[in-house]
A and B are shown apart, each in its own frame.
Chain A
Amino acid sequence: MTSPPGGGTRRRRPIAVPVTALVLSAGLGVTAALGGFADAPKEPPKQLGPGAVVDQKQFLTKFVTSRTVYQPDEYGPGGRRFLEVELEVTNKGDETTGTGAPGKDGYFFAKGLLAMSPAITPEGGPIVNIADEGVPSRQLHPGVASTVVLRYELPEGQEPPEKVRFDVGTFEFLEQFTIVTGSWILEQDGAADDSPPKVVAQVTLPVERGEEG
């Protein structure tokens, strides 16, 4: 692309390179000024109390109450004490799912209760079911609001806490491109594969004292 010598045409100034350089440096400058490529500062989870409703996308969950329950032994003195947490859960998905189990190794609905503080860890985890319809059920049917109760057995001699706090996560539907249908998974906090689940709310429930044995 040499110009003909003598210059019958007007000589063009080479501007593409300087303009590109200018645009690039301006872009970099603006990006740097806005905080670079780091993650935006995270929103702190909402702090909620009794009666709070958290939208977990797959579920709409109302944190109703927490209480202690004493169950006398059928055949003698003494008994067992439990801490119960009552939730009202509506399955917003398209199919029946289970109440599941809370915590890191949890599954189904209760997996969305990421952490409990103070943690009560009965052997085998708490019993999570829907107990108010004659026969206990562990199914959450679509479009149905169910009273889900988490029942933690308190170890002998341990005082129940004044209040319990739950870290609540949220679910997202993961489409799959295989013949397997997608599934609901916990939304993560960050882009990396091993990011911890995102805590959208922390719900604190005062523990009401039931009758003691």
Chain B
Amino acid sequence: MSSAPPTSQTGPNPVGPNPVGPADAPGPADGRRRRPRRPGRMRRAGALLAGLALAAAAVALQSTALGREESSAALTWTGGLGEEVVASRFSARVKGVYGARSVQTTDAAEKVEKATTSGIFVVVTLEATAHREPQQFAAPVLLTDDDKRYQATDKVDSSLTIVNPYIQPGWWTEGVAVFEVPVNALTGARFVLPLKNGFIGETYQPEVEVDLGLDEAGTQRLIADAKDVYPLTSKQ
């Protein structure tokens, strides 16, 4: 739309029936036919280079794309053993980690069951409080060093664990989480406490991730100190 000033020589199209022929377009000088002016060799090389650079940049950008895990993950607040980890809707503190060869549960009806395992039970004791509204936790996860996710075991009735109570604002509620894992999954394991998801399925929910401090020595200690029977009752 904008009309170029008549003195312009940079237009990509022939600017007139008699363009000033550049030196690099040697044609037959018979004047029978004028070819449209081609862009100079340098310009073509430049355009090619720019195109390649853009393509390379686009490919390089792919490497910064979020992975499956990252793009869908919850918002995670991290901390260590014994620390109070303050997330957006609740705070949690892991008080201790214990190993056990078996877990004996006594439910409200005094029914006693003893669960055994080919691996090891990991019992995490913790407490939590909510900030504004009551919250309830979903099944906690033990996240291993190689990103395998072990859900809390169903051999222990969930009514005896931290999943059961509503976490109220104003005071701390104590509870346990029990996992069943192979012994080789212990080193570097982290404890993940997610919130129960509603019917609609909210994404980016807050969760707390606590490093259980299980280095090589810590793992050996946990295994060596593992109780033969860890008792759990509905009464605290």
- A residues within 8 Å of B by Cβ? 94-96, 133-139, 141-145, 175-176, 179-182
Contact = CB atoms under 8 A, between A and B. Distances in A.
Interface stretch (B49-57, B116-124, B130-138, B164-172): B116-124
Nearest to B114: A134
Interface of B: 68-69, 71-72, 102, 105, 113-119, 147-151, 153-156, 180-182, 184-185, 203
B183 to A, nearest CB: 11
A50 B105 CA distance: 37
A175 B149 contact: no
A175 B147 CA distance: 17
Contact of B150 (A137, A142, A182): A142
Contacts of B114: 134-135
B155 A137 contact: yes
Contacts, number: 64
Given A133-B116, A134-B113, A135-B114, A143 B148 contact: yes
A95 B68 contact: no
A143 B144 CA distance: 12
Interface of A is mostly: loop
B182 A135 contact: no
Nearest to A98: B154
**Most chain A beta carbons < 10 A, residue from B69, B72, B105:** B72
Given A134-B113, A134-B114, A181-B72, A94 B147 contact: yes
Nearest to A147: B118
Contacts of B180: 137, 139, 141
A33 B132 CA distance: 73
A139 B181 CA distance: 11
A133 B148 contact: no
Contact of A96 (B69, B150, B182, B203): B150
A139 B148 contact: no
B101 to A, nearest CB: 11
A145 B185 CA distance: 14
Nearest to A182: B68
B151 A96 contact: yes
B181 A141 contact: yes
